[in-house]
Structure 1
């Protein structure tokens, strides 16, 4: 059967719709985060925000950072915490699902995600808000599990289209979610002092709908005869090994694989990590840049994410999903080249035209790199270890996102956005040159 005749398995579309609901809920908060931190600065009933501000006052005076940039620093710490928890959860989710199946593990993740939005709605102080983000981060293994499910039901020729749908789900989330979140927040400000509660309630609604939809319509993709035979406790031991950063980069728990394939997998993992480490710094601090430098309100930030998301969706729906398997590496390399000028444009932007040029290139690059690198990684490992491979890959991404935002936020806080982004553009030469040379 030719690649043109092969159709994407219907299960992929169930996963796609589940991710759309999940990511709509997840992105509601994006344009609200700078304003939320400003809110807790003035309305924190237990004083945690003020206490933290006092702890960094010496360093703030040492580097000459403006006091209103403290929210950038606190936001960076929370973003890093969220992703660090993903880093811990992803290998556990992937490994356990290889043993007991995808569906029960996914349902557990979705319950945790819905619970985190309940905590957000109740967060009358900064400590409760941090707890909500903690619960959300530890439950966010559903994305790596979705990729494992797609790998379960895809062939070599349909895998790229399936992974592109994951990218499209992310794009749709960025297109619609921030606008909805900003719109609800603006409307709620005229009705109640707790303006963020309405977006939080809508996030609860979306997460609950996702849980019900997945439970009713998803059919297990890893039958018992194809599951790992090592047992649940051995799987958890393997997951603990994956939190060992050295072993994580070595893909040490992926067994029965050719030495040459292991080397290629390690190169892909390292390139992906370095790329996301730098990339996530700009991604996370972007809302703070527009909030503090361009004085954007939540709705303006929502429209900014709309532009990024619609660009990614058009790229992934019209181009990336049609890329032939043999062109996957070439696409990843091109995307890695494009991210460099995007950082330069955002770094030197003194008006919205240069800013949006940088963001346009940023979105095009993202649409190409993430699905392509994911497809490259998913080609390795046996059927019984697809969940483990994708869990490791997702963990590397989560680890990068755990350290990237805090490094970028500290740099933004201490030396400003321009030097931070221009330095990132130089460092981004390493991933693209390494992938070209070694894979």
Structure 2
């Protein structure tokens, strides 16, 4: 651990050895240097958090070393050590960034006190950094809108955040399901633990289990070491399972066990592991309909559906569009250091009359693009129409990855004369995965 590493830089070998021996009994990992040039070379590699630094040394004086350390890491905690302390040297060291001072000869109890002071300062800095990160996250994922539909959603979010219940968020693509999940997490008792989003549909079926639950060495060809899965990495925190409707029957069974018993078995292991995670799931499909069709486990559905949150599409909260537009204008003006622009009334009316199939994500993308390409500070209806036309043309030309994949599967099936076993070998996927993809092909035709 970084906070257990201390550099001792002193040309006196005896001081280096005695301090090193004492600090190791106190649980620190120590590195001693009689030549400060070696310490500076090792600093970015060893990455200590505390440095005990002698003021007077032959190769390089302590003040110069101090400046070089601070240039590499402004937060490094430095305690100066010297037998030649004067008011001037103390002030100069503090001015250049030293945090504390030890006057030689010092007692080991003096060192202990100095390190206790260091720990307090370091912990305080850590808390400040954590708070800044949380504020940055909350600002980045700010929920914008005042429509009754959104207020209803936020009321549920407020009530469930502090409860350790499973939540499922329903909504079309681009409505902000992950944003709601993050808001729940950062307003919950788990806010200081990890939040890990996982898009189940984006993970290949043959990899999804090993990614989520990890595996043991030798579990399959290529498993040369143990791997910690996402569930274990998220212990104590919140895992966001997006597109949960795409989970295979096998994965559904494993998810059910995690929810019911807080246990899972890594691939290649015979021993269950315990985990404490809150699950927030999301889907753009009707899970209950999938249950009736036999495509989704009923027991898992009821376990996930403890608190359902239904996110309205943007076309159903039109009154929020002006607020969202202003928010995105400010956001991207700051990000790209642009002079703030504004939409005229006709442009805004056009945006409010559009159906937004891509929802908030589509609106955000459009505003970002308009700010970059529009030369005038006033964005007109014509600017919006021109960009919308261009985007719809581009969209018509571009095939999705799924469409390209299905085209390739068609091609391989033609090459093998419809032999599915040969096709699966050529494609590098198992037969069950190929059959699932063929079903999609049949659904298209």
What range is the shorter-chain TM-score in? under 0.3
Q: Highest Rg: 1 or 2?
A: 2
**Higher strand content, 1 or 2:** 2
Q: Considering Cα pairs closer than 8 Å and 6+ residues apart, tell me whether 1 or 2 has the greater RCO.
A: 1
**Higher helix content, 1 or 2:** 1
